[in-house]
Amino acid sequence: MHDPDSFGCRAFTAVLQRIGDKWSLLIVSVLADGPKRFSELRREIPSISQRMLTLTLRGLERDGLVSRTVTPSIPPRVDYELTQLGQSLRKPVCALAEWAMANIDVIHTSQTRFDRANGEKV
């Protein structure tokens, strides 16, 4: 982000408008382990609804980050996998995920303190 112009800012903004939601980065981080079926993703991310999983995967496929492979068997089987572009996102996303794991407690503590400090004057 040390551009003289604001190209970096606009590019980052544009990307965040797409994958800066509650699920996209998480799904990328889960698929970083390797290809997964639809139902496996559901199991690994219990808090997501079927609808949002479908929509998010569709968006990632549209961005070229994830590939979708249908095996027309009975029962049907659909595998999702990071594309080459998705693979290149692996490192930054996993770095972010590790930061999250390392700091979730600090964040939660800070939130509690902030809420207490501001809740008193109600």
Partner DNA sequence: CCGAATCCTTTCCGATACTG
Partner DNA sequence: CAGTATCGGAAAGGATTCGG
Of these, 4, 5, 8, 82, which contacts a second copy (CB under 8 A)? 8
Coil, strand, or helix at residue 69?
strand
119 belongs to the binding site for DNA (CB under 7 A): no
* Of 102 and 118, CB closest to DNA: 118
Stretch that binds a second copy, among 9-17, 49-57, 70-78 (CB under 8 A): 9-17
Coil, strand, or helix at residue 28?
helix
Residues whose CB falls within 8 Å of the CB of residue 20, separated by 6 or more in sequence, listed in order? none
49 belongs to the binding site for a second copy (CB under 8 A): no
